[in-house]
Amino acid sequence: MKLIKFPTIYVSIIFSLCVLGGFYNLAAQNKSIGSNDYESKNDILYRQGDNLTAYMQERCKMDIYYPTKKKGFSTIVWFHGGGLQAGNKSIPETLKRQGLAVVAVNYRLNPKVKCPAYIEDAAAAVAWVFDNIEKYGGDKGKIFVSGHSAGGYLTSMVGLDKSYLGQHGIDANNIAALIPFSGHTITHFTVREEQGIDGKQVAVDDYAPIHHIRKDAPPLMLITGDREMEMLGRYEENAYMWRMMKVIGHEKTTLFELDGFNHGEMDKPAYYLLVKYVKDFEKNAK
C-alpha cells in the first residue's frame, strides 16, 4: 500500500488491502450470507402521474435488491455512469450479499433530454426510496447515495442542491452520506456541451455541485482514480471540492485517490470503500 500525506489529508491507495482482506474482508462476508436470503424487484417505475412521456416510462425505472431476513438495513442508491448520454442500471456484484439493499437507477439521457431532466429523475428516484424503503424492511435513516462518473455527478447534485429533493418533500440533509465515484464537481461536460461550452473550458454554474457547497450538507466521501490517469482534471476538481467544504466548516468530507487506477477502473476498488463506509456508519449508530 502507498500512503501519501498532504496537509490534513491522507490519500490512501487501497486496492491491495481490499484483495488481501486487510481493509475489509468482503469475500468472507459474502460466503456467510446465502443468496437465497435476498430478493430483487426489477423495473419499478419511480415516477408517477398522467403526464409521463413514453420515454419517461421507458427510462424512469429502478431495480431493488434487498435482504429478506433482516430488518432496518441500510440502502445504497446507485447511479450508473455514461456521461449522461449512455448506460443502464445494474446492481454492482461487489455490493451484493452485504446485508444491505442496493437500488440501481435508470434516468433519462442526452440528447433526448437536456439538463436538468436527468438530475430531476435522480431526485425522484432518491425520493421514492425515502418513501418506500421501509415497505421492504429498510431504514430510511440509512440511505446512502452513490454512483460512478455521471452517476457520481448526479449523487452530488441531488445531495448538495436541496431544491431537487425539496420538490418531493424530502430534506437532502436526511441522506446518510454522499459517496460519488469520480464525479464532476464543476458543471458536467455534457451540460456544458448543451450550452455550447467546450469540454476543456471550466464552467461553474447552478449545475455544478461545487456551486452548492454548504456546511450542513450530508457527510461526503469523494473518491477518484489516479490523478495522472483520470479524465481531465477529475482528481483536482474533487480535491478543490474537498478543500472548500473544509473551508466552510463541513467536517465530514473525505477524499481518496486510488493510485494506479484510471477513470474506468477505479470503481472496482472504490466499492470496498463504499461498503466499509456503510458498515462503519451502522456500527457507530448502535
Q: What is the pLDDT of residues 92-101, one digit of tens each?
A: 999 999 999 9
| Overall number of domains in the chain | 1
Instruction: Give the structural domain span for 248.
Output: 3-285
Judged by DSSP in three states, 126 sits in: helix
Among 278, 263, 182, which residue's Cα sits nearest to residue 223?
Answer: 182
Backbone angles phi, psi at 97, to 5 degrees: 55, 40
Quote the pTM value: 0.91
Query: With contact defined as beta carbons under 8 Å apart, do 187 and 204 qualify?
Result: yes
CATH number for 77: 3.40.50.1820
Question: What's the one-letter identity of residue 92?
Answer: P
pLDDT in tens, 203-256: 999 999 999 999 999 999 999 999 999 999 999 999 999 999 999 999 999 999
